[in-house]
Structure 1
């Protein structure tokens, strides 16, 4: 979990939780059903083409809006392994970590389809398509452990077996 590599999907600023998973789909808690509709209003091609291991790259204030936990759940269930944004809404950031979805604050240039890799322990992102490297605040060991265990609840249960 400390190293992640995937294909980029670009999104802009202020992608709120209603854009991520519209309220009309919140009648279910099934992650697979939520994933079918994730970000469909922003990019119709996303839900049809996102693959396991892909990376979302976004601008400022990703995940703003309501505190709906289904937003990061839908993204993770769609196969996204990492979200990189210039900034995150606090509650979205926390919800993502709690379910084991890595989110990191950084500013790196990449086009749709570029391949980026991130080393969470070293604090380095590399756009492998055009060889651009950016540093970010490395994750602390306890955060790596939470993410590796699949989220906060699973980490707690593992630690308290």
Structure 2
């Protein structure tokens, strides 16, 4: 089905190609690791509870009540980052809320272990993209009609 010139119908060819590239990257086990990111698996953050007499030296009390501090009292209200938004966005990438590292740096996906920028570079067939400074990466996304934002403007962490 073809549309008349000037029609408001959007050509989804580029968006479909981007989605296909992202899916190929996600399911391809042979892709290279993004520069600066570790290729070794990270240790689980779950702590194990030691049995009495164990040599690990860990307390049996859960960390949420250790030292008399409730885990809920440690949470703080935080604000998200401003969107990466160009004049003509066609693709919106939504996250939930920025990580602590991203908030400290004021950049989306700032943790070096996060593969977000490498995945986008792969999808755009631009291996140099993840190596650009943050502002340049944002400029490339805006020029390509890709917006990045979080669904939570304010959150508790």
Instruction: Please tell me whether Structure 1 or Structure 2 has the larger radius of gyration of its CA atoms.
Output: 2
Give the TM-score of the pair, scaled to structure 2: 0.26
TM-score, normalised to structure 1, is 0.25
Give 1 or 2: higher strand fraction. 1
